């Protein structure tokens, strides 16, 4: 077990993002916030591979199973993060580092939040999907990470989830109108 202290939640989130990126894994919040009698708040983050897959019978299932299989282990992984917010505003972390029952596999990971936001930003600025894909592939280095395996389908999913309706990076066929629309969009986004 590793014990750490952070001054604010942003420091913790940066650390968590770094741990997830470096180790090709993901942690997810387990239920809600537990409040203790001494006014401390506790949040548990479990390895995302923990748990049971939702198995439906063939006649109820509408879609096929994933080729790579479910990310769920059918058991609990031993890795967990216990985040405690103290009354003084500090955040204490108890990090149980060891994983059980699985390897670090890229096929069961999603793109990181930072990657999603970065790609959405580039799409809003007018970069084409092909340009974004080429840029990401030019930066691939060892060790391989999930963000390095970006696909056109990932980019289209980001375009849909962020509600970006640009076609081939253009807001309008006329460049002047396209730039004006971009400026208006920037002002509305802050």
Q: Is the pLDDT of residue 57 over 90?
A: no
Annotate 128-175 with three-state secondary structure.
CHHHHHHHHHHCCCCCCCHHHHCCHHHHHHHHHHCCCCCECCECCCCH
pLDDT of residue 85: 92
74: its two tokens: 């059918």
* 14-23, 37-46, 93-102, 180-189: segment of lowest average pLDDT: 180-189
Q: Is the pLDDT of residue 187 over 60?
A: yes
Mean pLDDT for the stretch of residues 78-107: 86
Q: Is the pLDDT of residue 80 over 70?
A: yes
From 81, 136, 137, select the one nearest 114 (Cα to Cα): 136
For residues 41-51, one letter each, b for 16 or more C-beta atoms within 10 angstroms of the residue's C-beta and e for the rest, the string is eebbbbbbbbb
Q: How far is CA 156 from CA 100, 107, 110, 126, 134, in A?
A: 34, 19, 14, 14, 15
Q: Is the pLDDT of residue 61 over 90?
A: no
pLDDT of residue 55: 64
pLDDT of residue 172: 61
Q: How many percent of the chain have pLDDT more than 70?
A: 78
Mean pLDDT for the stretch of residues 125-136: 87
Q: Is the pLDDT of residue 144 over 70?
A: yes
pLDDT of residue 171: 62
């Amino acid at each position: 077990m590793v014990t750490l202290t952070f001054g604010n939640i942003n420091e913790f989130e940066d650390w968590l993002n770094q741990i997830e990126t470096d180790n090709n894994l993901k942690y997810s919040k387990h239920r809600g916030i537990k409040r203790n009698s001494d006014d401390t708040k506790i949040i548990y983050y479990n390895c995302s591979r923990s748990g049971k897959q939702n198995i439906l019978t063939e006649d109820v299932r509408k879609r096929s199973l994933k080729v790579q299989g479910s990310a769920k282990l059918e058991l609990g992984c031993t890795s967990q993060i216990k985040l405690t917010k103290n009354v003084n505003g500090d955040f204490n972390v108890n990090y149980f580092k060891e994983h059980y029952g699985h390897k670090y596999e890229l096929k069961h990971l999603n793109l990181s939040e930072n990657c999603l936001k970065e790609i959405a930003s580039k799409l809003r600025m007018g970069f084409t999907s092909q340009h974004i894909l080429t840029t990401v592939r030019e930066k691939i280095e060892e060790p391989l990470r999930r963000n390095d395996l970006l696909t056109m389908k990932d980019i289209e999913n980001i375009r849909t989830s962020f509600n970006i309706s640009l076609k081939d990076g253009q807001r309008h066929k006329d460049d002047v109108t396209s730039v004006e629309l971009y400026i208006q969009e920037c002002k509305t986004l802050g």
